[in-house]
A and B are shown apart, each in its own frame.
Chain A
Amino acid sequence: MSISASGQVVLAQYARITRRRMFFMAALVLVVLLALLADLCTGPSGLTVAQIWSAVVGDETTSRSTAVIIWQIRLPTALMALLVGTALSLAGAEMQTILDNPLASPFTLGISAAAALGAALMMVLGVGVLPLPVDMSVAGNAFLFAFLCTLLLQFITSKVKGGPEVLVLFGIALVFSFNALLALLQFVASADALQQLVFWSMGSLGRATWPAIAIVFAVVCITLPFSFRACWQMNALRMGEERARSYGIDVARLRFYSLLRVSLLAGAAVAFTGTIGFVGLVGPHIARMLIGEDHRFFLPASALAGALMMIGASIASKAIIPGVLLPIGIVTSLVGLPIFFVLIFRRWSKG
């Protein structure tokens, strides 16, 4: 392939843009790591950075209480924030592309409403669908319901013509159905169960245990490579479904596997932290505004933006009212919204 001089110039420019994006991604990774460190350093017990560091690296001189605070509370919370932000935002990014709808997220299509219903079933009626120990059965139920919701969506898409619009409409119908059933459970719930349920719905990183972290980590690690492998197909889908099919892409199959990944990611995240709505919708939008829609960069940037938002929310939930840990779901929205508004205004402001 011989390329003219001006063609070479364009290729060089393109290579420069690609390098700049790589550099930007690396910077974003660094920011996420710094935020993680800041999260570790935030909390009511007034530990110094040096103390925290020696606890993390397992220094002999660390006091037992400091080690417990770091290893049982702060590190799990921070890592869970990182993983859940990654999972929800990646799920949202994939959904927005394959459904060609900027409003799509695990929450718009009923996946988290289903998870909440599953959790409520255990809390209110004590019905654990999966044979799990009691302390895991709320998470188990939530995951299973999220997963079943996605399968239901899949089933519907295979039965009707019309593509993404129908899927989105059906998802919205599912949200209302699950919410109605949830309200029914709340109505019959005891005062204790109701309180538990309300707190679960607000989202919390406080339930982060090491096994839970391991599970979410495993899900992210398993789905991520498959997401990236589909990045060119998703780029093609940006040009329209018919066009993607004319390239030889099996769009129905792409959509099926993408939704499968979404259900794993969202299911795992929601199961262990409850309803955290904002990240899956906004994380991808922030990534899109920062780096564009080439999925080679858009997918990882979405994951990182989501992680950063969650860690930021985790810090804020501890810092807004000293001594009080606010529910993460509320803080995520409160912290994320201003950032989102600024980005929207910067992008769409007149002149």
Chain B
Amino acid sequence: MVNAPQPAKASDGLSVSNLGVAYGKRTVLNAMSLAPLPRGSVTSIVGPNGAGKSTFLRAIAGLVKASGTITLGGIDLQTLPAQKRAERIGFMPQSVPARVGLSVLEATIGAFKAIDSVDLTLRAEAVAVATLEGLGILPLALEAFDTLSGGQKQLASLAQAIVRRPDILLLDEPTSALDLHHQLQVVTAVRRVASSGTIVLMTLHDLTFAARWSDRIAVLGGGRVYRDGVPAQVLTSETLARVYGVSARIEPCSQGFLQVITDADL
């Protein structure tokens, strides 16, 4: 909890209720609901592998077909046409393709112009440059995407997700496979984006990291939201035992941040 989010009307934020996703006959998500997420808040989605964290993000982004309602500021996103919905949502996949063939700036401009291909004014370039500068990666602007390090790629990827200034930013494991320095770089950038009013949802595996940097945590287990709330309420020995089947203690460090310490035995 870095910046306490502005108290906002519930109708202004993001609400998810009764979200369900099925692949064929297999139900992946079943009637998932989240308490309304205010603007400027960062929520981490945690849970065991296969719990449906990524599917949950994809369902909100409209990348997989889902039942239920997702409202933003009172508007049901499910009823919006794909383009209108995409304008409000930035989505960052877990990884970028091995071979992209574009420079960082080209990819960022592309993200801005992807739908409206007629707009050939200078604006897109300026917006892209400002976005890269905001993330501190302006020096990489003209580098080839394919030559970047893992951490740089994630930041460049984040630039594409936020270049249209979305209302909702969805990040699929933004810090996995990154070193400590780059994890911090990415998460502070994400917090900065949130502080301008964006609603951020990200999937994470590192619970201590999630507790440190999120306003809220939603624990997924068994195809539904098992717990949802502020980290101190959600992260308990009981939750971890139930959802992960792991015996662990949750203790505050000297500065008050929660730490998850696993016991030796399951």
Contacts and interface: CB of A to CB of B under 8 A. Distances in A.
A231 interface: yes
B93 A249 contact: no
A57 interface: no
B160 A239 contact: yes
B125 interface: yes
Contacts of A176: none
B54 to A, nearest CB: 10
Given A11-B129, A239-B107, A248 B117 contact: no
A230 interface: yes
Interface string B108-128: 001101110100000101110
Contacts of B138: 6-7, 10
B83 interface: yes
Interface in A265-296: 288, 292-294
Contacts of B86: 246-248
Contacts of B117: 229-233
A59 interface: no
A93 B106 CA distance: 19
A240 B97 contact: yes
A3 B102 contact: no
Interface string A326-351: 00000000000000000000000000
Contact of B129 (A7, A17, A242): A7
A139 interface: no
Given A10-B141, A293-B102, A248 B126 contact: no
Interface in B84-98: 84-87, 89-91, 93, 96-97
Given A233-B117, A294-B102, A242 B107 contact: no
A120 B80 CA distance: 51
Mostly, the A contact residues are helix
Given A239-B96, A246-B61, A292-B102, A4 B114 contact: no
A64 to B, nearest CB: 50
B129 A236 contact: no
Interface in A202-250: 229-233, 235-236, 238-240, 242-250
Interface residues of A, number: 35
A127 B87 CA distance: 53
Contacts of A248: 82-87, 114-115
Given A10-B141, A248-B115, A249-B115, A3 B110 contact: no
Interface in A32-60: none
A1 interface: yes
A13 interface: yes
A7 B82 contact: no
B251 interface: no
Interface residues of B, number: 41
B130 interface: yes
Contacts of B111: 236, 239, 247
A254 to B, nearest CB: 10
B130 A7 contact: yes
B50 interface: no
A152 B90 CA distance: 35
A209 to B, nearest CB: 37
Nearest to A250: B82
Nearest to A228: B117
Contacts of B58: 242
A303 B197 CA distance: 46
A235 B114 CA distance: 8
A171 B214 CA distance: 48
Nearest to A16: B142
A288 B144 CA distance: 13
B142 A240 contact: no
A14 interface: yes
B133 interface: yes
Contacts of B126: 1, 3, 7, 11
B222 interface: no
Contact of B110 (A1, A232, A288): A232
A42 B111 CA distance: 48
Contacts of A247: 86, 111, 114-115
Given A13-B142, A14-B142, A288-B101, 5 more contacts: A1-B130, A3-B129, A232-B117, A242-B63, A248-B86
Interface of A: 1-4, 6-7, 10-11, 13-14, 17, 100, 229-233, 235-236, 238-240, 242-250, 288, 292-294
20 contacts: A7-B130, A7-B138, A10-B141, A14-B142, A232-B113, A233-B114, A235-B102, A235-B110, A238-B97, A239-B100, A239-B102, A240-B93, A242-B91, A243-B160, A244-B114, A248-B84, A248-B114, A248-B115, A250-B82, A294-B106
The 10 closest A-B pairs by CB, nearest first: A248-B86, A293-B101, A246-B91, A247-B114, A235-B110, A248-B83, A236-B114, A232-B117, A7-B129, A1-B126
Interface of B: 58, 61, 63, 82-87, 89-91, 93, 96-97, 100-103, 105-107, 110-111, 113-115, 117, 123, 125-127, 129-130, 132-133, 138, 141-142, 160-161
